[in-house]
Amino acid sequence: MRNDTASKPETIFRKDYIAPGFWVDTVEMGFDLDLSATHVATRMTMRRNHDSSEKDLVLFGESLKLLQLRMNGVNLKKSAYKIEGETLRIANAPDEVTLEIETRINPLKNTSLSGLYASNGNFITQCEAEGFRKITWFPDRPDVMAKYTVMLRADKKKFPVLLSNGNLIEEGDLGDGRHFAKWEDPFKKPSYLFALVAGKLVCQEENYKLKSGREVLLQVWVEDGNLDKTQHAMDSLKNSIRWDEERFGLELDLDRFMIVATGDFNMGAMENKGLNIFNTKYVLANPSIATDVDYAGIESVVGHEYFHNWTGNRVTCRDWFQLSLKEGLTVFRDQEFSADLVGTATGRAVKRIEDVRLLRQVQFSEDAGPMAHPVRPDSFVEINNFYTVTIYEKGSEVVRMYYTLLGHDGFRKGMDLYFERHDGQAVECDDFRAAMADSSGRDLTQFERWYSQAGTPRVKVDAIYDAEAQTYSITLSQSCPATPGQTEKLPFHIPVAMGLLGADGKDIPLHSVAYEAQAGATSLVLELTEASQTFVFTGVSSKPVPSLLRNFSAPVVLEIDYSDEELGLLLANDSDPFNRWEAGQRLATRRLVKLTTAVQQGEELSLDGMFIEALRATLNDASLDPAFRELVLTLPSEAMIAEEFKVVDPQAIHTARQFARATITEHLRADLLSAYEGHLTPGKYSPDAQSMAKRGLKNLALSYLLEWSDESTFELAKTQFDDAENMTDRLAALTALTNFSGTDKQAKSAAKSLKAFYKDFKKEALVIDKWFMLQATARTTDVAKIRDLMEHPAFTLNNPNRARSLTFAFCNANPSRFHAVDGSGYALWAELVIALNKLNPQVAARLARSMDRWKKYPESLQVHMKAALQKVADTKKLSKDVLEVVSKALAS
Ligand code: B3K
Ligand code: ZN
C-alpha cells in the first residue's frame, strides 16, 4: 500500500506529452462492495498504438492491494512487470492484450474523497482528475477512451440502490442477502468519467420528452428525508436539457440521466457520464433552508454538469493541460444559460456583473500571485491544484472573446464545426481555436496567446479630441506584467467593445475609416492586436465621453483617467449597463482608496456629496432593475480595494469601507428605508428573477440601515428575522443583527437569535454551514472566537463543506481579522493546513492558497506569514498538493 505523500514531487510538463502505448477498447468491471474491503475485478481489451513512441504497456495505480494480474489468460509473475511509484509497466506486451486485474481497496479509510469512498454509509466515487487509479490499475489518462460494462454486487439491505454510468441492463438477487445490478455505458469515455454510487438513497424521477420526441428518464437521488428538497434541481435539469437543444442543437444522448447528492464532496459537482454526482449544496433546496443565492447556484451547477455531456464528455481533453478546453467552455455555457433564463437585457447584465466581479476579485489576484498560470498551463506538480479560477473563469472569458469577435451566429457555426470534427475524441485547446477560425475564415493565430501567456493584460487609454477637425482619437496601449516563469509577453488580440457618449449622455453614431462597414453604429468592437494602436473617429461635433470595454469584452484592466463628472454621466446614462455599473465602482474605488490612506495617516474621514447623490439617484431610480441597483449600491469588497495598493493594510481598508457604509446610511436613511419597504415580497416564496431582485435590494438596504446605530432599524431586522418565511430573508436579517454594533441589550438579543437559528436548523447540515460561515465572517470574530467555534460539537474538519464554512471563510473572507497584527491568524492557518493535509490533501491545498499573496503585506506581517508557510513546508509527509502551493508561495 502506498500513501498520498511524495518526497520529491515531480513536475509534469505539457511538452512531454506522449500518446498512450496502448488503447483500451472495452472495460468490464465487477465490484464486490464492502465498506472496508471492496474487491474489484477488471477485464480490459487493449491494442497497441503503433503511432506512439511508448512501447511498454503502462498502467497507473495508487493505494491499491494488487491481488492478481493476468495477461491473455496467463498469470503474470512479479518479474513480468515493474511497479515504480504510481506506475506499472509491462514490457514486450503483444499487440492485442486482454488484461485481467483484481485489486482490493478500503473505501472507509479513504478520507481524500477521491477514488471510491464511503459517505454516511454509502459508496461514492470521484475520479477526476486521477481518482480512477485508486480503484484499479489502469491507463488512467483522459486520452484513453473505452466502453464500460459494470457489475455491482452488494448487501441488499445496506445498499439497496446500485448505480453506475449509462443504462441499467440487468438486476437481481444473488441469494445470501446480496443483490446485483449491471450497467452498460454505450459511449466510450475516459476513466475520469467513471462513477458508481451504492447505498440507501431515494429519488425523485420524471419522464421527460426531448424536442425530438424521444422520452428520457430523469432522476435526482438523495438520502432519505430530503425528497422535499429536489424539485429545484429537477427543474434546473429540465431547463438545461431544453436550453442545450435550443441554443446549441445538442440533445441528451442517453435514455437515462441521474444526479446524486452527497454531503461529502471536495468540489461542487462532477459530470460523470449519465451519473452526475453533486455536493448536496448544489442540489438540496426549499424555501426554508436555501437562499436566493443557493437557488441560483443550483441552477448554474446543474446546468454546468449537464452541459459537460457534450463539452467535456463527448469531446474530451487530450491531457490535463487542456483542462480549460472543457471547463472554460462549459463555464461560458452555464453563464449564458443563466443569463438566457432571466431573459431581459438588464437581467443579462446583472449576471455578467456578478461573473466579472468574481473574475476580478479572485482570478486577477491569482494572476498576480505565485500560482499564476496560463489558461493552458505548461507544467504542474499536482493537477488537482489546477482546477483554478484561471482555468474556469478566465477560460470562459477566452471563450466569450470568440463569441464577441465572431458574433452569435459565427460562434454557433464554430461550435457546430467543433463537434463535427471532434465528437468522440480527446483534443486540445488549439483544436477548438481552429474550429472557430476555420468556420469563420478569421485569422486567430495571435489569439493563441490567451492560452499560452499568464497574467492580466493592462490596456491604457489616451484620447484626444480635435475640435477643429471634429475627430476623436483613442490610443490603446497594452502591456502585461511578468508572471512566474514568463517575463516577456507579446501583445494579445483584445476585443474592445466601445461607444461614445455625447454631453446629453446619448450614444453618438460612430464613423471610423477602419470600421467603415459599420458606419453609424453606436457600439463597435475594436480589435487591439499591437502594443499600441490609435483609432480615429470622425464627425464628432463635441468632446465625447468614451465608454470602453463594454460588457467587459476582454479580461483586462482598463486604465483610463475619467473625471468624477464623466463617471457621473456614464453612471446615469451609458446604454451599456455593465459600464454604468463600472462607472459607479470607479467612483467608489477612488473614494475608498482615499479614505484608506486617510485612515493610515490619522486624518479626518469624509465622503463627498457628489458620490452620495449619485448613489441616491440610482437607489431611487424606479426604472432600473432592483438587482442592478443593488449591484451599484454594493461597495467594492475589501479584497478589491486591497488590489489598488502596493502594500495592503487590511485594518485600514476595513475601517475605511465601514466608514463609507455608515456615512452613506447617515445621508440616505430615508431613501434606504423606502427602498426596504418598497421591495417586500409578501406571499409564497418564489425563486424567480424579479422576486430575487427585490429581496436583494431590500436586504442590501437592511444591511446599510443597520450601519447606523438606532433602535428602530435594529427592531426592523429583528422582526424580519422572527417573521421570515424563507431563508434568504432570515439569513440576511441574522447577518445584519450579528454585525450590528449597539447596546449590550441589543448584542444579547442578537446572540439569542443566533442560538435560536442553530436550534431550529440543527438537523440541516447546509444551514449549519451557513451558521458557521456567518460567524466566521462577522466583524467582531477574531482568531480566539474561531478556535472556540472549532470546539463546537457540530464542527469537524472531516467534512469539506463544514471545514470551508468556518475556517476557509475566516481565512479568505474576514481579512481584517485574519491578518491580525500578532500573526495569530497565520498560526491558525498553518495548524489547519497541516491537520487537513493528513485527511484530505485536495482540501488542504485549497486552504493553503489563502497565503498566496503574502508578499503584498507589510514587513511586520510578512515575518509571521513566512514563518507559517515554512512551518507547513517543513511538515513531514506533506502531500504534493500542499507542497506545490506552499513552495511556490515561499519562492515568490
Ligand atoms: N470537473 C469537475 C471537477 C473535478 C475536480 C477534480 N479535482 C467539476 C466541474 O468542473 O464540472
Ligand atoms: Zn466543469
Report which ligand 1 atom has the smallest distance to the Cα of 308. 11
Amino acid type, 296: A
What is the Å distance from ligand 2's center to 62 Cα? Answer: 24
Contact present, 771 and 757 (Cβ < 8 Å)? yes
SS3 of residue 271 by DSSP:
coil
For the Cβ of 112 lying below 6 angstroms from any atom of ligand 1, the answer is no
For the Cβ of 384 lying below 6 angstroms from any atom of ligand 1, the answer is yes
Query: In this predicted structure, what is the pLDDT of residue 406?
Result: 98
Provide φ and ψ at 613, rounded to 5°.
Answer: -70, -35
The position carrying cell 502591456 is: 479
Query: In this predicted structure, what is the pLDDT of residue 5?
Result: 44
What is the Å distance from ligand 2's center to 183 Cα? Answer: 24
Contact present, 166 and 186 (Cβ < 8 Å)? yes
The position carrying cell 449519465 is: 274
Q: Where are the alpha helices (DSSP H) in 359-468?
A: 364-367, 389, 395-422, 429-440, 449-452
Angstrom CA distances, 399 to 393, 483, 651, stand at 10, 22, 38
Which of 124, 240, 271 gets mutated to test ligand 1 (max ligand atoms within 8 A of its CB)?
271
For the Cβ of 319 lying below 6 angstroms from any atom of ligand 1, the answer is no
Provide φ and ψ at 777, rounded to 5°.
Answer: -105, 5
Question: Of 100, 305, 366, 638, which one is the catalytic site residue?
Answer: 305
Query: In this predicted structure, what is the pLDDT of residue 4?
Result: 43
Q: pLDDT tens digits, residue range 59-72?
A: 999 999 999 999 99
For the Cβ of 86 lying below 6 angstroms from any atom of ligand 1, the answer is no
pLDDT, average across residues 106-115: 98
Q: What is the pTM of this model?
A: 0.98
Contact present, 614 and 568 (Cβ < 8 Å)? yes
**C-alpha angle 252-256-257 in degrees, rounded to nearest 5:** 70
What is the Å distance from ligand 2's center to 383 Cα? Answer: 14
What is the Å distance from ligand 1's center to 272 Cα? Answer: 10
Contact present, 179 and 33 (Cβ < 8 Å)? no
The share of the chain scoring above pLDDT 90, in percent, equals: 98
SS3 of residue 764 by DSSP:
coil
Angstrom CA distances, 533 to 462, 548, 549, stand at 10, 15, 15
Q: Write the DSSP symbol of residue 387.
A: -
Q: Give the Cβ contact number of residue 248 at 10 Å.
A: 18
pLDDT, average across residues 46-67: 98
Buried b (16+ CB within 10 A) or exposed e, 524-559: bbbbbeeeebebbbeebeeebbbbbbbbbbbbbbbe
**Distance (Å, rounded) from C-alpha 416 to C-alpha 440?**
12
Question: Dihedral of the CA atoms 95, 98, 102, 107 (nearest 10)?
Answer: 80
Q: pLDDT tens digits, residue range 308-367?
A: 999 999 999 999 999 999 999 999 999 999 999 998 999 999 999 999 999 999 999 999
Q: Establish whether the linkage from the previous residue to 776 is cis, with ω within 30° of 0.
A: no
Asked whether the predicted pLDDT for residue 1 surpasses 80, the reply is no
pLDDT band at 6 (very low <50, low <70, confident <90, very high): very low
Report helix angle 626-633 to 577-600, nearest 10.
20
What is the Å distance from ligand 2's center to 331 Cα? Answer: 7
* Beta bridge partner(s), residue 879: 5
Report which bound ligand comes closest to the CA of 383: 1
Q: Write the DSSP symbol of residue 636.
A: P
The position carrying cell 450579528 is: 738
Amino acid type, 31: F
Q: pLDDT tens digits, residue range 754-786?
A: 999 999 999 999 999 999 999 999 999 999 999
Q: Give the Cβ contact number of residue 213 at 10 Å.
A: 6
Which of 124, 128, 386 gets mutated to test ligand 1 (max ligand atoms within 8 A of its CB)?
128
| Centroid of chain to Cα 497 | 26
pLDDT band at 711 (very low <50, low <70, confident <90, very high): confident
Q: Are strands 38-48 and 96-105 parallel, antiparallel or unpaired?
A: antiparallel
For the Cβ of 334 lying below 6 angstroms from any atom of ligand 1, the answer is no
Query: In this predicted structure, what is the pLDDT of residue 7?
Result: 55
* Beta bridge partner(s), residue 477: 460, 532
What is the Å distance from ligand 1's center to 128 Cα? Answer: 6
The position carrying cell 422582526 is: 719
Report which ligand 1 atom has the smallest distance to the Cα of 304. 11
Q: pLDDT tens digits, residue range 539-549?
A: 999 999 999 99
Q: pLDDT tens digits, residue range 619-671?
A: 999 999 999 999 999 999 999 999 999 999 999 999 999 999 999 999 999 99
Report which bound ligand comes closest to the CA of 268: 1
pLDDT, average across residues 575-588: 98
pLDDT band at 709 (very low <50, low <70, confident <90, very high): confident
604 tagged catalytic: no
The protein residue whose alpha carbon is closest to atom 4 in ligand 1 is 128
The protein residue whose alpha carbon is closest to atom 2 in ligand 1 is 270
**Distance (Å, rounded) from C-alpha 297 to C-alpha 302?**
8
pLDDT band at 2 (very low <50, low <70, confident <90, very high): very low
Contact present, 767 and 289 (Cβ < 8 Å)? yes
For the Cβ of 707 lying below 6 angstroms from any atom of ligand 1, the answer is no
For the Cβ of 102 lying below 6 angstroms from any atom of ligand 1, the answer is no
Which of 387, 842, 849 gets mutated to test ligand 1 (max ligand atoms within 8 A of its CB)?
387
Residues 6 or more apart from 793 whose CB is under 8 A from it? Answer: none
* Element containing residue 535 per DSSP (H, E): strand 532-537
Query: In this predicted structure, what is the pLDDT of residue 623?
Result: 96
Half-sphere exposure of 420 (CA within 13 A, CB side): 12
Report which ligand 1 atom has the smallest distance to the Cα of 269. 8
**Distance (Å, rounded) from C-alpha 370 to C-alpha 360?**
17
Contact present, 569 and 629 (Cβ < 8 Å)? no
What is the Å distance from ligand 1's center to 221 Cα? Answer: 20
Query: From start to end of 549-604, where are the E strands?
Result: 557-559
pLDDT, average across residues 176-199: 98
Q: Using CB atoms within 10 Å of the CB of residue 18, give its burial: 0 to 12 exposed, 13 to 18 middle, 19+ buried.
A: exposed
Query: In this predicted structure, what is the pLDDT of residue 710?
Result: 81
Q: pLDDT tens digits, residue range 380-425?
A: 999 999 999 999 999 999 999 999 999 999 999 999 999 999 999 9
The protein residue whose alpha carbon is closest to atom 9 in ligand 1 is 270
For the Cβ of 276 lying below 6 angstroms from any atom of ligand 1, the answer is no
Q: pLDDT tens digits, residue range 833-866?
A: 999 999 999 999 999 999 999 999 999 999 999 9
Q: Using CB atoms within 10 Å of the CB of residue 362, give its burial: 0 to 12 exposed, 13 to 18 middle, 19+ buried.
A: middle
- Mean predicted lDDT score pLDDT of the chain: 97
- Give the chain's radius of gyration (CA, Å): 28
Provide φ and ψ at 829, rounded to 5°.
Answer: -55, -45
pLDDT, average across residues 683-695: 97
Query: In this predicted structure, what is the pLDDT of residue 74?
Result: 98
Amino acid type, 150: V
For the Cβ of 304 lying below 6 angstroms from any atom of ligand 1, the answer is yes
Residues lining ion ligand 2 (Cβ < 5 A) are 327, 330
Report which ligand 1 atom has the smallest distance to the Cα of 842. 7
Q: pLDDT tens digits, residue range 292-314?
A: 999 999 999 999 999 999 999 99
Which of 327, 334, 842, 881 gets mutated to test ligand 1 (max ligand atoms within 8 A of its CB)?
327
Q: pLDDT tens digits, residue range 793-847?
A: 999 999 999 999 999 999 999 999 999 999 999 999 999 999 999 999 999 999 9
For the Cβ of 324 lying below 6 angstroms from any atom of ligand 1, the answer is no
Report which bound ligand comes closest to the CA of 132: 1
Which of 4, 267, 385 gets mutated to test ligand 1 (max ligand atoms within 8 A of its CB)?
267
Residues 6 or more apart from 56 whose CB is under 8 A from it? Answer: 21, 89, 90, 91, 93
Domains and CATH numbers, the chain: 18-200 (2.60.40.1730), 201-317 (3.30.2010.30), 319-325+334-437 (1.10.390.10), 458-554 (2.60.40.1840), 560-708 (1.25.50.10), 762-892 (1.25.50.10)
**Distance (Å, rounded) from C-alpha 706 to C-alpha 121?**
45
pLDDT band at 9 (very low <50, low <70, confident <90, very high): confident
